[in-house]
Amino acid sequence: MGNLARRGSGTETAGTREDMQTADKGTGGGTGGEGKGIEAGGGGNGRRADGNKEGTGAAHVGDGIGSEGTGSCREEAGNGNSSGTENDGSERERGTGRKRKRHRSRQKKKYEKRGLHPPLAPMYGRYLVEICRQFLAGIPRGQIAGNVTKLLQDKGINIELNREQVYQLIEHARKLGYFVLRPPVNEELQQLVAKAYGKRPHDITVVDADGRAVLDEVAERAAVIVLDLVYDVARKKAAEHRQPIVEIALAAGATTMRVAKILADGLRERRCIPGLVLHALTPGFKADDPSTDPVSFFGYFHNLPTTVEYMALYAPPMVESQDYFKYCNEARYGGVTEAFSRKWEIDILITSLASAFDTHGDLRRFLELRRADIDLLMELGWIGDVQYRPYTATGPMPQEASVRAVTLFELYELVNFAGMRNKHVMLLSGPCGKCGDTRADALRPLLSVPQLKVWTDVVMDRETAESLLVQVK
Ligand SMILES: [Zn+2]
């Protein structure tokens, strides 16, 4: 209860965090894990106050709330307003009034800093949940604006909401993870793709969605699968009397960023969280957008009530191909050798792929500076890349370009990794976030060529699956 699983497999399920927290109330710490239970790093769930949701008044966590075992702090944490508002004990009200005023002004500054509309600042938290609830109940926007305006005025907050702001706030709530839209999987397409490529249907997930947000939905579904894998790995390790610490490697890119965020949120909902070690599979690629570096995803896992260790990869994104193995294996560079030496400890690897024909792919964009390299790779039959390692329709690229990406795993190593017991490679194949083109052409060899079976689970959108079937015919 109270976790992602509960939001389950329905067509468009939506649950607010507030709803979910009630299910978790009053639960104690984790169970020490001999055999089955995993050791929770967390202890009492007072720490589980979901304070790190962006813009939800995180600074307020634990403010005047008994933080151990109350189980109610999540709602308080989610409330950008004051924790004492609902308590009508008037003396206490007066006593905390000034405090609240100061708190509000601090919050206002915080919201302004983030570019949020300051007059709406007190909306974040429980009123935002209220707007979502009314919207999902089918109440018209104008009426929601009126209802919530009245609610705010009753609390002494003088804000008049309008119809347009209702939409903005719902979108904002979704971004904060207050509710999720989870399209169903298309079982028929899963079966057809699996049959066409001789794979187990169980390993292929086709998200029955298209449109603008499809990438989010593919990431959402992948994160749910990874969440299950995390607990599966932890349980198996505990059963083997090993430390139930799960090591997860994250690739660069906007798709993995989405998965990492949803995964961290999903973990936060759980009562027991295994210890985690997060690895960066590559260094960052985009100097103008460091938010897509794997290291920057580590931030989502900060403050999880468990032990979290990090293993970054501090290398240049590209090095001369002829020096590569010397650079990674022989030269002792701090931040590089260490990452490489620990790569086989990884349990779950999350990555995506890119098509050679899509000019928005990171590798393609990087090589644009060296046109001769693109021409060479194209001549050799470059069709796609995983972890910036290019491949053709029949196997790994037979020849290197003049430069190559620094990445923990070569393609053949990924194939070995995916074939090992209790190791998982989650491969995401949504459409390009820029042009919307599917990556079916690049995915096809990964499904059909054994030397490119770099995955154990693949998640794709409906259009990609349909293209895969057309290509087979
Ligand atoms: Zn594109």
Same-domain pairing of 232 and 149: no
Same-domain pairing of 157 and 219: no
Report the separation in Å between the CA atom of 437 and the middle of ligand 1, taken as the mean of its atom positions. 6
Which pLDDT tens digit goes with each residue over 220-240?
999 999 999 999 999 999 999
What are the residues whose beta carbon lies below 5 Å from ligand 1 (ion)?
358, 360, 432, 434-435
Domain end position, chosen among 175, 198, 233: 175
Same-domain pairing of 257 and 303: yes
- Work out the burial of residue 429: count CB atoms within 10 Å of its CB; fewer than 13 is exposed, 13-18 middle, 19 or more buried: buried
Report the separation in Å between the CA atom of 364 and the middle of ligand 1, taken as the mean of its atom positions. 11
The packing angle between helices 462-472 and 187-197, to 10°, is: 30
Domain end position, chosen among 175, 198, 229: 175
Same-domain pairing of 92 and 63: yes
Same-domain pairing of 208 and 261: yes
Report the separation in Å between the CA atom of 406 and the middle of ligand 1, taken as the mean of its atom positions. 23
Report the separation in Å between the CA atom of 348 and the middle of ligand 1, taken as the mean of its atom positions. 27
The angle subtended at Cα 223 by Cα 12 and Cα 16, nearest 5°, is 45
Same-domain pairing of 213 and 341: yes
| Structural domain total, the chain | 2
Region 359-373: mean pLDDT is 87
Write down the pTM of the prediction: 0.70
Same-domain pairing of 84 and 193: no
Q: With 90 as the cut, is the pLDDT of residue 260 above it?
A: yes
Same-domain pairing of 247 and 352: yes
Candidates 383, 455, 386; CA nearest to 415 is 455
Q: E strands of 161-274, at which residues?
A: 204-207, 245-250
CATH for 221: 3.40.50.1360
Rounded distance, CA 111 to CA 472, Å?
Answer: 52
Whether residue 416 is contained in a domain is answered as yes
Specify whether the CB–CB gap between 335 and 328 falls below 8 A: no
Same-domain pairing of 397 and 275: yes
Instruction: Output the pLDDT for position 60.
Output: 31
3-state secondary structure of 350: strand
> Which tops the pLDDT comparison, 118 or 262?
262
Whether residue 1 is contained in a domain is answered as no
Report the separation in Å between the CA atom of 121 and the middle of ligand 1, taken as the mean of its atom positions. 36
Q: What secondary structure does DSSP assign to 399-443, as a single string?
A: S--SEEE--S--HHHHHHHHHSTT-EEEEEE---TTT----HHHH
- The torsion of the CA quartet 252, 256, 262, 267, rounded to 10 degrees, works out to -70
Which pLDDT tens digit goes with each residue over 36-90?
334 333 333 333 333 333 333 333 322 222 233 322 223 333 333 333 334 445 5
Q: Which domain holds residue 125?
A: 17-175
Which pLDDT tens digit goes with each residue over 98-148?
777 777 677 666 655 554 555 555 566 678 888 888 988 899 999 999 998
Of the pLDDT bands very low, low, confident and very high (cuts 50, 70, 90), residue 176 is confident
Instruction: Output the pLDDT for position 10.
Output: 36
Same-domain pairing of 373 and 406: yes
Report the separation in Å between the CA atom of 354 and the middle of ligand 1, taken as the mean of its atom positions. 9
